[in-house]
Amino acid sequence: MIGDGGGTLSSNHIDRAMLPGFAEAGLRTEDQWEFTSANTQYLTHGLFPYPARMIPQIADRLISLYWPDKATSSSLVADVFCGSGTVLVEASLKGIPSVGTDINPFAVFLSKAKTTAIDVSTLTPIKEQLRVDLEAFDGTPIEAYVPSFTNLSHWFKPGIIAQLSHLRRAIDHIANEDLQRVFGVAFAHAIMKCSNVDWKSSRYLRVLPESKLESHNPDAFTFFWGNLGNIERKLASYGAKKKANVEVRQDDACSLSFSDDALDLIVTSPPYGEEMNTIPYIRWARLFLLWLGFSQTEIKSVEDRSLGGAGKDTILQGSVPSATFWEAVDEVAADRLKEAVPFMVDYLSSLNEMQRILRPGCRACIVIGHRSISRTLIDMGKVTQELGEAAGLKFETIYYRNIPKKMIPWTGPTGETIGQESIVILRK
């Protein structure tokens, strides 16, 4: 069953000849896909910052190029690493029903918020009650609504902890889940803006420098109300344009809960490496999840089930059928390979799942960033091509794309981060 929303399927009538750059789509050029000056924050795409987010212009173009001509009213597009829901928003604007899955519960929370059409007038009585509740704030934390972890005061000043606990209690009392989620996104904004975290750190694990931390005295209520107004406007604009149903669910990419031959198109952007050494999606979301009521045990379980999260004790070359990968890591130390190989094994499992759930003749469009291991560049586009072929998917083409903007910094403790990614087209 597809979730909220409505509309009819109209995208099987896409005029591909009108698509910008369509005539050159077979060329492996970077500039066709950069969208350097494009607005990537329109509608609900700008609802909340998310690391390594696929920009909507790429999702829009891939759907337009590869949505099958013989699509029916029961046809579906899926994003099996849906992150913040970019693909789902774009599909719904085109009138294409979609399903998004992610193992990260914060990604699921955010994608649901971005793709649910809301009558913003229904928020008014809730806001009025919230204001009454927050006016009673006396500076004392509500202990039942303060997350339990030992280093909480490392990440938040005492006054902020007190304010956030009052916000959380007020939001928890909202009965409607869709409306509660709207206020929850504003709450997450307040958590981000008011924490002691240096969000520009390459691993999202550091507090602000002492010089900045001393003068860092934000007001969580002010950020909450300011963000809520922006969220309302974006949701209203999106709701007026949404044309198709969207479903979002938590799911493991290595064991997806789709039936065989269920999907007509996959457009997705997997992580390009294990959390320990690349973008730490779960660790990045940890503070949000704790304040939203998840326990440290639950969060650790999700991290362990992310690609490469469980780890392995041995390195078996046959478990990663990619000549590109093994040639690149020929001189990489064994201890680093023990961290990287489990990711590749799980990535292959996810490609096997994509092959299983696609209908014959349909495509998987995979946007993935290049990575490095011990400063050795790994072309994840070529690795994806080779692993995809091992999974039974036929390689069609690859586009290389320079990344003009990044949420994460260009440099970090291990040197420069990679500024290029690949768009790999595979077909069942």
Q: What is the pLDDT along the chain (428 residues), one digit of tens a residue?
A: 233 333 334 443 444 443 333 334 444 444 478 898 899 999 999 999 998 899 999 999 999 999 998 888 789 999 999 999 999 999 999 999 999 999 999 999 999 999 999 999 999 999 999 999 999 999 999 999 999 988 999 999 999 999 999 999 999 999 999 999 999 999 999 999 999 999 877 666 789 999 999 999 999 999 999 999 999 999 999 999 999 999 999 999 999 999 999 999 999 999 998 988 888 899 999 999 999 999 999 999 999 999 998 877 667 778 999 999 999 999 999 888 888 999 999 999 999 999 999 999 999 999 999 998 888 889 999 999 999 999 999 999 999 988 766 544 434 444 445 678 999 999 99
CA quadruple 371, 373, 377, 383: dihedral, nearest 10? -60
Question: Where on the phi/psi map is residue 403: left (φ > 0), alpha (ψ -120 to 50), or beta?
Answer: beta
Q: Write down the number of H helices and E strands in the chain.
A: 14, 11
The whole-angstrom separation of Cα 256 and Cα 122 is: 35
Contact 4, 238 (CB under 8 A): no
Q: What type of residue sits at position 79? A: D
Do 380 and 247 have their domain in common?
A: yes
The whole-angstrom separation of Cα 154 and Cα 190 is: 17
- Total structural domains in the chain? 2
CA quadruple 320, 323, 327, 333: dihedral, nearest 10? 0
Do 168 and 277 have their domain in common?
A: no
Do 261 and 375 have their domain in common?
A: yes
Strand-pair category, 77-79 with 98-102: parallel
Do 415 and 377 have their domain in common?
A: yes
Do 344 and 390 have their domain in common?
A: yes
Task: Kindly report the CATH number assigned to the domain that includes residue 63.
Answer: 3.40.50.150
Tell me the pTM: 0.90
Instruction: Give, as one character, the DSSP assignment of residue 96.
Output: -
Residue that terminates a domain, selected from 216, 238, 260 = 238
109 closest CA partner among 332, 343, 344, 302: 302
Do 184 and 249 have their domain in common?
A: no
The two three-digit tokens of residue 185, written as one number: 């996104």
> 38: part of which helix (H) or strand (E)?
none
Cross-strand bridge partners of residue 423: 367, 399
> 77: part of which helix (H) or strand (E)?
strand 77-79
Do 227 and 370 have their domain in common?
A: no
Is 42 part of any domain? yes
The whole-angstrom separation of Cα 176 and Cα 119 is: 13
Which residues touch 44 (CB under 8 Å, ≥6 apart)? 85, 89, 113, 114, 115, 234, 235, 238
Range of the domain at 187: 120-238
